[in-house]
Structure 1
Amino acid sequence: MSNPEQMEFASRSMDMFADDPQLRLLVQPVGPQPAEESTIPDLCAAVSRDAGGMAKGDELIIQNLFENWLVARGWTLTAERGWVDVDARHPDGRRLLAEVKGPTSSPGLDVDTAYGQLLRRMGEVAPAKTRFGIVVPERSITAALRVPERVRELLAVDVFAVSSSGAVRQI
Structure 2
Amino acid sequence: MRGNEERVIQAFCAFLDEQEWVTEREIGFVDAVAQKDGQRTFAEAKGRTVAIGLDEDTMFGQLPRRMRDECPGPDTRLAVVVPTHASAAAEGVPAGVRRELSIDLYVVGHDWSVSIRA
Given the two structures, how large is their TM-score scaled by the length of structure 2?
A: 0.90
* 2:81 pairs with 1:135: yes
2-structure distance, mates of 1:148, 1:63: 23
Secondary structure of the equivalent of 1:161? strand
Structure 2: any 5+ residue segments left out of the alignment? none
AA partner of residue 167 (structure 1) = S
Residue 41 of structure 2 contacts residue 77 of structure 2 at CA under 8 Å; is this kept in 1?
yes
Question: Paired residue for 1:151?
Answer: 97
For residues 22-171 of structure 1, what are the structure 2 equivalents within 5 Å?
Answer: 56=2, 58-78=4-24, 81-90=27-36, 92-125=37-70, 126-171=72-117
Which structure: larger Rg? 1
1:79 to 1:118, Cα distance in 2 relative to 1, 3 A: closer
Distance 1:149 1:56 in 2: 27
- Give percent identity, aligned residues only: 38
Aligned mates of 2:11, 2:59 — CA distance in 1: 18
Aligned-partner Cα distance in 1 for 2:25–2:105:
23
Q: CA deviation at 1:72?
A: 0.6
> After TM superposition, what 4+ stretches of structure 1 lie above 3 angstroms from structure 2?
none
How has the CA–CA distance of structure 1 residues 60 and 79 changed in structure 2, closer, same or farther, with 3 Å as cutoff? closer
Number of residue pairs aligned between Structure 1 and Structure 2: 116
Q: Which amino acid aligns with 1:120?
A: R
Q: Which has the higher strand share?
A: 2
- Decide whether aligned partners of structure 1 residues 73 and 109 sit closer, same or farther in structure 2, where only a CA change above 3 A counts: same
Q: Check 1:79–1:60 CA distance in 2 against 1; reply closer, same or farther (3 A cut).
A: closer
The 2-side partners of 1:71 and 1:83 are apart by 21
1:11-40 Cα distance to aligned partner (Å, 9 max, x none): xxxxxxxxxxxxxxxxxxxxxxxxxxxxxx
Residue identity matched to 1:127: G
Q: More relative contact order in 1 or in 2 (CA 8 Å, sep 6+)?
A: 2
Structure 1: any 5+ residue segments left out of the alignment? Answer: 1-54
Closer, same or farther: CA 122–87 of 1 in aligned 2, 3 Å:
same
> Deviation per CA, 1:112-146, whole angstroms, max 9, x where unpaired?
11111112123432132100000000111111111
CA RMSD of aligned residues (A): 1.7
> What SS does the corresponding residue of 2:115 show, helix, strand or coil?
strand
Q: CA deviation at 1:93?
A: 1.1
